[in-house]
Amino acid sequence: MSERRTRRRAALAAAAAADDAPTKSNQDKTIMNGSGNGNDNGEAVAPSDSKVDVSPRENIFIFWPNIIGYSRIVLAIASLYYMPLHPRTCSLLYSISCLLDALDGYAARYFQQSTKFGAVLDMVTDRCTTSCLLVFLSSAFPRWAIVFQGLISIDFASHYMHMYATLAMAGSDTSHKNVDKSRSWLLNLYYTNKTVLFLCCALNELFFIALYLLSFSSPLLSPQLLEPLGEHKAAAIQTGAQVNSSVLRQLFTNPYSAGALEMARANKMDSTFPWILAGISAPVMALKQFLNVLQMVKASRWLAEGDVDARRKAGLPKKKSMKKA
């Protein structure tokens, strides 16, 4: 009787051991595959409860700073439309466009929407609007055209070389405003101090706006825009013309119409206020042009240093072997 119990217990123990063997083997495979995220072939398998990123893709073009940048372009184009004959309207639209330059940077930091596209859009808008105003000043003051042309060239050349040097030498992830003090403490102060940057840019534009207003008001400068109205145009004004009463025509009047021409000459500004603005902003404008030249020189030297290092790594110039005659 005791032998039968012993054999039965031995058989039950052997059956229990056989049942536990597959479970242990599976556990060993799981450990070998690593943290349970694998199959029998040792390949990684994604866990069943893994979360898939289904967040919507951001549209950079409708970020708030970029929308402000688009509005700057619209205002700049409107100011150019009124520039030939409407100094007050043009100056107002142009000034608002320039002041929004500070607002888009604040919006980028507030909404955490700083982007490379926004930075380039801001720089291109600044360069284009200033250049268009300088082109008009070249035509208003022909004797000084070469000066305005030089200012346009320096502005474009310095910013292009600075941007290219930053991308080529520091990498695409580095902002053009990150100027090391070891290269130029003055450029570092200009780009990192928001107050200095705003004052330099604002007063630089203010000087050119003052010159623009003087082209309509100063008898000392006596530009061609102040020529008296001819008899033919005066007769056209007196005879009248068909009135376009559309809403768009009321908002955007034709700056070249005879009535607009007479209105522009009848509402000429006094030259005192523009002269004061020009006198206040002239030193800062000169400083801004100096910074443009300094920026171009520093960028040129930085690119030259990179060329020297690249040539050294390439083993250039290679020594030419002397051939026997």
* Integer CA distances (angstroms), 111 to 191, 195, 241, 273, in order: 21, 21, 51, 39
Residue among 125, 123, 121, 102 nearest 63 (CA): 121
The more confidently predicted of residues 249 and 130 is 130
- Distance, CA of 113 to CA of 106 (rounded, Å): 10
Tell which wins on pLDDT, 23 or 62: 62
Q: What is the pLDDT of residues 41-89, one digit of tens each?
A: 444 454 555 556 667 789 999 999 999 999 999 999 999 999 988 888 9
* Pairwise CA distance, residues 110 & 129, whole Å: 26
The torsion region of residue 81 among left (phi > 0), alpha (psi -120 to 50) and beta comes to alpha
pLDDT beyond 70 at 17: no
Residue 126 bears catalytic tag: yes
Predicted confidence at residue 250, as pLDDT, reads 54
From 101, 104, 122, 126, active-site residue: 126
Identify whether the C-beta of residue 303 lies closer than 8 Å to the C-beta of residue 168: yes
Query: CA–CA separation, 46 vs 316, rounded Å?
Result: 52
Q: Is the pLDDT of residue 216 over 70?
A: yes
End-to-end CA, the chain: 116
As a whole number of angstroms, the distance between CA 71 and CA 40 comes to 61
0.85 exceeded by pTM = no
Note the pLDDT tens digit of each residue in 222-273: 444 445 555 665 565 455 555 555 555 555 556 666 555 555 555 566 788 9
- Residue 44, strand partner residues: 38
pLDDT digits (tens, 9 = 90+) for 152-196: 999 999 999 999 999 999 988 888 888 999 999 999 999 999 999
- The answer to whether the peptide bond before residue 47 is cis (omega within 30 degrees of 0) is no
